[in-house]
Structure 1
Amino acid sequence: MLKKVLNSVTTGKGPDFSQLTDKCISIGEYRLSYRLPSNRIQSGRPSGPKPDHINLHPDIFESYELKQEYNRVCSRLVFQWWSYKGFFLQGAFGQLCKFSMHIDINRISSQCSISENDLDSLEAYLKKDYWDYYETPGEGNQRGVNWRAREEFKDNITTKGEVPSNRLVHLPETYIKQHINGTNWLHYSLVGEGIPGPDITHYWAYPLNDCFYITICFWLTFEQGSKDARSERMLQDVNHIMSMVELEKS
């Protein structure tokens, strides 16, 4: 009990799982159900309506609002934020850390393919896609993101040409198959995605057919203070949210 109280003081007040909102989206032949805890951050900016059904035919998918999210072209179905609040003098005026949740339908790169319900094919695709985007030693804009960072530091006297670790995006070290409510998901994480630094992005992915895969992504960000304790607390809450996710084929 004391440990729980101390952990709450260190990591702050976050998502409230005593109040849940049920959500459901139809994705091709699949139905995605999930539940969201309360205490979500209201951005104050109006967002456009999100579809409650996504057609996975390639020609129809092109008609949706698509975005380039680093290495991925996707249609974003869900975006939510939760923050962890402590005392005013903790962190950034009381804010200790926060995480966002994105649910995206991702189109695979041309001339590539994956197989429905085949996590091995998805893992192989993701490894190549991340490597091409971050580690390709090409020229100009064809050069990977990490290679461009290395180029910036190659003549740096202070670092003796070495790139600080926090200036590179750290690709997934492992891909873990995780069984959640009847479906096997592929879980992996990156450090520094988008904004190089300590932030961690956790993904759960599933191949819907040979052209598309779904990702449920949680982006964990930190303020000053105990990063390890706050990371552990956020990951516990992220896993709680994922434990309420159900993906079923019609």
Structure 2
Amino acid sequence: MILQELRDPHTLRQLLSRQFLGSLLASPQGRAYVLTQAGIAESTDEGAVFAHVSQRVEDPELLRMVRKHAEDEERHAQLFFGCADRQGVPRPEIPSNLRVLERLNGRLGIFDRRVETDRDVMDAYLVLQVIEERAIEQFATIEPVLRRYDARSADVLQGIREDEARHLLYCRAITKRYAPSERIRIARLRELREAEAAAFRDHQRSGIRHVLASGYLPGATAFVWRTAADLLERRDVLPYTRFKDEAHGETARAA
């Protein structure tokens, strides 16, 4: 049974991620790195989406959702930065090439053009949806490992994860409101999940290389993970989230 489960790419990736995080989060420097990176993603990456779409959203109720969503993400960023500061070491500099949204936009070019149509709003918020889906899955992986070393930060992370699950409702409401049709929305969501998985794969590879180069792991552990990273890069499987086949709480096929 265990061997059969490990043949599933998603299960294997989750297992390896937890093992890697166990090594990384064991040190204050590693925890500060992970928490700082999470804070930047909440403020800078998602903030870019809100700034991009707010110029077009006119419906007062939807605009209220956009603003509430933006306020939540900024609050999350400050919570993550506070957790990072409690580790007792300086917050590390996070290279810009470790930002998933930049990689995703490099593939799609969505944020290189003005928001002029309803479909542009749909696209931007579908991007936000796939980012939120990834965050929910990543936080679920990080939280139990972080709890071994810093229960207070793990509690913060769990609370933020619950907020992100609620934010998916915002994403669905706004994309359904601005989509030309439900068929187009679902088809575009599939495309963006493919693009996000590829961007996250590249981001994850760069992140592991950065961690290894920055000395966050002790020598012997770093050697093991450097070898594992080389092997994993040869096994080019896209790291989809568990949301891959969902449209909005139903399977895409059923929708």
- TM-score, normalised via structure 1 length: 0.26
Q: Which has the higher strand share?
A: 1
Q: Which has the higher helix share?
A: 2
Q: Which has the larger radius of gyration?
A: 1
